[in-house]
Amino acid sequence: MQNAETVLDVLRERGKRGLPCDELYRQLFNPQLYLLAYGRIYSNKGAMTPGADAETADGMTMGKIEAIIDAVRHERYRFRPVRRCRPRVWGNVGRA
């Protein structure tokens, strides 16, 4: 597997030049990519705030990453739906 930083740099350059990104799906099998993403999310201020499914970024482990990669590889991975919150529009009361 290639280094995650190298992969992202190549994809970024291809995107800037308008070139197609071939074999992008195969990059989802790279555990370093998940670790890099986790490192960027973990340092955010709201990383310890539970999401709609009550999980936090702190709960990520290598076991979970390997399970996600295995599910993606065998085409069994399903995204969990999240709760939708619609913002309330103020000042539109009574208008059609």
pLDDT tens figures, 2-45 = 788 898 899 899 999 999 988 888 888 999 999 998 888 888 88
Residue 89, domain member (yes or no): no
Residue 85, domain member (yes or no): no
Say which amino acid occupies 20. Answer: P
Structure confidence by residue, pLDDT tens digits, 75-86: 998 877 776 777
- Residue 96 confidence (pLDDT) above 60: no
What band does 92 get if pLDDT is binned at 50, 70 and 90? low
| DSSP 3-state of 37 | helix
- Residue 33 burial (10 A CB sphere; 0-12, 13-18, 19+): buried
Residue 36, domain member (yes or no): yes
In this prediction, residue 46 carries a pLDDT of: 77
As for how many domains the chain has, the answer is 1
Q: How far apart are CA 13 and CA 10, in angstroms?
A: 5
Residue 37, domain member (yes or no): yes
In this prediction, residue 48 carries a pLDDT of: 82
